[in-house]
Chains A and B, each alone.
Chain A
């Protein structure tokens, strides 16, 4: 009964080479999988290999490796591989808010929802997460008017490094993460656009 199948494998060089190829492919996949995993464990490039720092520089050993400093922080999959908003809120880091003694520190809790996204998710802009890091003057009025729809925001401008793209794509999480801005499901949205009432 099984002799036909047996013969196929034992005698057909074609079947053997097919099997061999599957094997090699599997092995390669395994290897690359291991690479990815290793990368996930410590995704940061060492300074002397980053294409920027001169390994012959006199003080390269004085500098801290990103992989050492950033590994304990909440992990992300893009940018610095750090969820900076979470790192700040959970108190894992406590960056100074000011150096000069009489600088006024202002945090504003005001979300704004934007509708002009084609048939894609709406955008929620949170003032809170921003003003925890930034001063009002970083955005107002140079980049954005202090009025909903006072500025015509568009994805084209953003991708050119203006408006939201001045920081996102440069220092804050990159523009590849569409859903972090486009976070409001447009199919099931029943609220109003623009400034949102502040949740207590």
Chain B
């Protein structure tokens, strides 16, 4: 009886504790970052879609809609490609703020994150 009560308690506690989950649609970019000695990049969709429609990045600027499909590199960014199309000191702050983009925990795997998908996103 005591055991039953204890285990119910544990179960309830587990159910009640909110889980640490990334904001829906955050993208981790860590194809080369960590290997090159900087933190992985966290790209937040929620923040950008308040300011730009999808078509700005996924049509005008040419980001392919598939996590990992864009071979983003720092040289390109500094030349004004990829994130550098906006993070150039004109549309948004410039590349000198390394830590704002390179803000991830060590060891993160590239890909899109989210708390509410039904098994997706992407191929599983």
Chain B residues, CB < 8 A from A64: 47
Q: Which residues of A contact B95 (CB under 8 A)?
A: none
User: How many Å lie between the Cα of A79 and that of B46 in the bound state?
Assistant: 10
A1 contacts B by Cβ under 8 Å: no
Within 8 Å by CB of A53, from B60, B97, B104, lies B104
Contact between A133 and B54, CB atoms less than 8 A apart: yes
Question: Bound complex: CA of A136 vs CA of B69, how far in Å?
Answer: 20
A3 at the interface (CB under 8 A from B): no
Contact of B22 among A50, A168, A174, A176 (CB under 8 A): A50
A50 and B23 form a contact (CB under 8 A): yes
Interface of B, secondary structure class, is: loop
Query: Could you tell me if A54 and B50 are in contact, using CB atoms closer than 8 angstroms?
Result: no
Evaluate contact between B65 and A166: CB separation under 8 angstroms: yes
Pick the contact of B103: A21, A44, A53, A80 (CB < 8 A): A53
Residues in A with CB closer than 8 Å to B99 are 57-60, 62
Instruction: Report the bound CA distance from A44 to B118 in whole Å.
Output: 19
Assembly CA distance A61 to B96 (angstroms): 16
Q: CA–CA, A44 to B22, complex, Å? A: 9
Of B16, B18, B105, B118, which one neighbours A45 at CB under 8 angstroms? B18
* Residues of B in contact, count (CB < 8 Å): 60
B37 within 8 A of A: no
Chain A interface helix/strand/loop/mixed: loop
Chain A residue numbers with a CB within 8 Å of B42 are 52-53
Query: B41-77: which residues lie under 8 A (CB-CB) from chain A?
Result: 42, 44-47, 49-56, 58-61, 65, 67
Could you say which of B54, B61, B85 has the most chain A C-beta atoms within 10 Å of its C-beta? B54
Given A32-B12, A52-B113, A66-B46, 14 extra CB contacts under 8 A: A32-B15, A45-B21, A57-B39, A63-B100, A95-B49, A95-B51, A95-B52, A98-B60, A103-B60, A133-B53, A138-B55, A170-B25, A175-B117, A175-B118
Interface residue ranges, B against A (CB under 8 Å): 5, 8-9, 12, 15-16, 18, 20-26, 28, 39, 42, 44-47, 49-56, 58-61, 65, 67, 85-86, 91, 97-100, 102-106, 108, 112-114, 116-124
